[in-house]
Amino acid sequence: MKKPSQAFRRRLTALMVGLAVMVLICVLLALAVHRDATGKLQRLAHVELEASSLAREFRGAVDDLHGALLRIGSDGSEDSAAVIHERREKLSGWLVARMAAAGGNEHEREIIRAIAAEARSYFIKLDSLAVSTDDYRIPLNRDTVVMFDDSANRLQSIADDFAAAHDEELRGLLESSLGSLRWMRNLVFGCLGFLLAAITIVVGRLYRDVVRPLREQLVDREMLLEKREKLAALGTLAAGVAHEIRNPLTAIKARLYTLRRILSSEESKEDVRAITKEVDRLERIVRDVLGYAHPADATLSQVELAAWLREFAAFLGPEMVAAKIDLTVDAAQTADVAIDADQLRQIMLNLVRNAQESFEGRAGRVQLSLARERGLLRGVLAEVVVLAVTDNGPGIPAKIQPRLFDPFFTTKPAGTGLGLSIVARLVELQGGEIRFQSAPGTGTCFTVHLPLRKVSHHHASP
C-alpha cells in the first residue's frame, strides 16, 4: 500500500491538533458546570441512592420464601426445611438491616415496623406449618396456600409503600439537579457536534488516502483466494488421476527392465532407453501432482531464521558459483519462529532455483533477505516475518503473471508447471502468504510472509 504523502500527514496533524483544542475547551466547560453542580449533588450524598432497589430486594426475598413453600413435597430432591429456613433468615436479615439504617427517618421506621409486624405473623404461620406438615414434608392444601398468598400480598403491598416513601424523598432532590443536567446536556451535544464535524473531515481524508487503496488490495486478495480454492479442487482431481496412473507406470517400467535384458539390437535398446526416460518424466509429474494435492502436514519446531538463512545460502553457494550467480544474504534482524524447516527449505530452494533458471546461463545476482514488520497476513494485522528472494534477472512478463501459481502452467519446455503451485501450498501450510513483484527488465522479488509465533504443538495441520 502506498504510504500517505507528506502533505496528507501535515493536514492530518493539523486536524488532530484542532481536535485536541476542541476537546480541551469541552473539558474546561465541563469542569465549570461540575463546580456549579457540586453543591446540589452534595445534597444527595446523605440519601441512599440504592433505596429504589431495596423494595425489589424485599419483594424478591418474599417471593423466594413463598415459592419454597409452594414447592413443598413437589421436588423429592429438595430439602424443603433447609431451603425455607435459609430464605426466612434472608428476609429477617433484611428487616434488621433496614431498621438499623432508617436512623431518624420516622416515616421509614413506621413502614418498616409495619413490615416487621406482618413478617412476624408470617413466621408464626410458618412455625405452625412446620408442625402440621412434619417439618415441611407434606404438600400444602388449598386453604393453606390461600392463607400464605394473602400474607405474601400484604407484605408486597407494604414494600410498595416503602419504595414510594424513598421515591418521594429522592424526587425533590433530583429535580433540583435537573437544571444543571440540562446545561450539561446542551454542552455535551454542542461539543459532540463540533467533534463530529472534525471527525468527518478526518475520516474522509483517511478513507481517500488510506482506506480506499487498502480496500482495493483486499478485493484483489479475495479474488486470489477464490482462485486458489478452485485450483485446490483441480489439484484434488489431478491427484486422483495421478494415483490411477502410478500403478500402470510401475508395471511399464518393470516390463522395460525385462525387455532391456533380452533385446540384442542396439537400436531396440535405444528405443527402450527413450521410453524409460519418458516414463521417469511421467513418474516425476505424478510425484509433483501428489505433492501438490496432498503435501505432508507441517511439523513445527523453533527456528532462528537469520542463522537458518545463512546456513541455507552456504549450502547453495557452490551451485550458485558454478552457475555464475552472486548469492548474498541480508539477515541483520533475528526472528525466532515456529516453522517446518524441511518445508521451508523446499520453498526457498524452489524460489532460488527459479531465479537461477531465469538468467538462462548468464551471470546474475540473487539476494536472500530477512525482515520483521507489522502488516496484514491473511487479512489480519499481525507481527510478520518476511523472507525475500530478489534477483536482477529479466523479470516475469506481465501477461503470464496472473497465472504464475496455476497448476500445470509453465513456460519451461521440460517443466511440470507445479513448482510454484507447490510452493504456495507449502506456504499456506505454514500459515503464511507468498507474494511477488516483477517487471520486465528489472528483476523479480518473491516474498514469503510468515506469522511470528512460538511452538505450541509439535504438529500443525493446514
What is the pLDDT confidence band of residue 387, given thresholds at 50, 70 and 90?
A: very high
Q: What is the pLDDT of residues 141-191, one digit of tens each?
A: 777 778 888 887 887 777 777 777 666 666 666 676 666 667 777 777 777
What is the reported pLDDT for 457? 45
What is the reported pLDDT for 222? 75
What is the pLDDT confidence band of residue 329, given thresholds at 50, 70 and 90?
A: very high
pLDDT value at 103 more than 60: no
* Sign of the Cα pseudo-torsion (22, 28, 30, 33, in order): negative
What is the pLDDT confidence band of residue 458, given thresholds at 50, 70 and 90?
A: very low
Q: What is the pLDDT of residues 359-385, one digit of tens each?
A: 888 999 999 999 998 888 877 888 899
Residue 308, Cβ density class (10 Å: 0-12 exposed, 13-18 middle, ≥19 buried): buried
Q: Which residue has the higher pLDDT, 72 or 289?
A: 72
pLDDT value at 55 more than 90: no
Is residue 279 within 8 Å of 255, Cβ to Cβ? no
Is residue 238 within 8 Å of 417, Cβ to Cβ? no
* Three-state DSSP string of 319-357: HHHHCCEEEEEECCCCCEEEECHHHHHHHHHHHHHHHHH
pLDDT value at 3 more than 50: no
What is the reported pLDDT for 460? 42
Q: What is the DSSP string of 85-135?
A: HHHHHHHHHHHHHHHHHHTT-HHHHHHHHHHHHHHHHHHHHHHHHHHHTTT
Q: Give the span between the Cα atoms of 332 and 334, in whole angstroms.
A: 7
Q: Give the span between the Cα atoms of 108 and 114, in whole angstroms.
A: 10
Retrieve residue 65's grid coordinates: 420464601
What is the reported pLDDT for 76? 58
Residue 200, Cβ density class (10 Å: 0-12 exposed, 13-18 middle, ≥19 buried): exposed
> What number of other Cβ atoms are within 10 A of residue 133's Cβ?
19
What is the reported pLDDT for 49? 47
Please state, in angstroms and as integers, the Cα–Cα distance from residue 340 to each residue in 74, 139, 258, 429, 456, following that order: 63, 70, 42, 9, 13
What is the reported pLDDT for 459? 43
Polymer length of the chain: 462
Position 309, amino acid: L
Q: State percent of the chain over pLDDT 70.
A: 73
Q: Which residue has the higher pLDDT, 48 or 181?
A: 181
Residue 309, Cβ density class (10 Å: 0-12 exposed, 13-18 middle, ≥19 buried): buried
Is residue 100 within 8 Å of 175, Cβ to Cβ? no
Task: Kindly report whether the global pTM for this prediction surpasses the value 0.85.
Answer: no
pLDDT value at 50 more than 60: no
Retrieve residue 190's grid coordinates: 454542542
What is the reported pLDDT for 309? 93
How many CA atoms, within 13 angstroms, populate the side-chain half-sphere of residue 333? 13
**What is the distance, to the nearest Å, from the Cα of residue 164 to the centroid of all Cα atoms in its chain?**
49
Q: Give the span between the Cα atoms of 179 and 33, in whole angstroms.
A: 11
Mean pLDDT for the stretch of residues 334-351: 88
